[in-house]
Amino acid sequence: MLPLPGRAATELVSAAEGGYDVTVRRVVIPPEGPSATPRGPHVHPDCTEVMLVLAGSGEFTAGGRAWPAGPGDVIVVSPGQPHRTRNTGPDDLVLCCVFPVPGLVTVEDPP
């Protein structure tokens, strides 16, 4: 389990997990409580991120716009693009996140 704010992530495939040239994570974002502060945006400055929504319902925000996200939706985020995915439903939002790098080390708050 990776220590990421507001979500739980399990690294399934990476250089460290099998010697691969890609990183694949299963990310679970729990429902937001009524007094919860929503997570802010973050960026991956050096790589693209591809997210497949496996379960739940959420909202994806990037570039000042927001879109609903649900099972089967695919979201592609360009390198350096500030973005945020939040849970808008009553159940866990479950994502499969793919990064075309062997080890994802850098996740930053946007400038």
pTM for this predicted structure: 0.89
The domains of the chain are located at 2-99
- Tens-digit pLDDT profile for residues 2-50: 666 788 889 999 998 889 999 999 999 999 887 777 778 888 888 999 9
**The two three-digit tokens of residue 105, written as one number:** 């080390």
pLDDT, one tens digit per residue, over 48-81 is 999 999 999 999 999 999 999 999 999 999 999 9
Residues contacting residue 82 through CB under 8 Å, at least 6 positions apart? 41, 42, 43, 62, 110
Nearest to 39 by CA among 7, 73, 2: 7
What pLDDT sits at residue 6?
80
- The per-residue pLDDT for 49 is 95
Domain 2-99 has CATH 2.60.120.10: yes
